[in-house]
Amino acid sequence: MRTFNPVTRSGTVLLDDGVELGYDTAAFDAGDARLLRVGQRVRVELHDDSGVRRVTYLTIATLPDRR
């Protein structure tokens, strides 16, 4: 996880391939995390919309999927 704003519950993630993507409140709320720390490993689900990738689900890497 690259950035996290606890007020808006949004921020950015740095993918393993070096790409930085933003995530919104809906992506954060879809997972079980309550708070994130910079540098923390997370798992994300991405949606590709006409070549634009966006984060749709985000959780701490060690937590099970709630879905």
32: in domain:
yes
Q: For position 50, what pLDDT does the model report?
A: 92
**pLDDT higher than 70, residue 67:** no
pLDDT band at 47 (very low <50, low <70, confident <90, very high): very high
19: in domain:
yes
% of the chain at pLDDT higher than 90: 85
**pLDDT higher than 90, residue 2:** yes
Structural domain span for residue 10: 3-60
**pLDDT higher than 70, residue 59:** yes
Q: For position 29, what pLDDT does the model report?
A: 95
Give me the number of domains the chain comprises.
Answer: 1
The model's pTM = 0.86
Residue 45 Ramachandran class (φ > 0 left, ψ -120 to 50 alpha, else beta): beta
Pairwise CA distance, residues 36 & 54, whole Å: 19
Q: Tell me the DSSP string of 21-63.
A: EEE-HHHHHHSS-S---TT--EEEEEEEETTEEEEEEEEETTS
Pairwise CA distance, residues 15 & 52, whole Å: 15
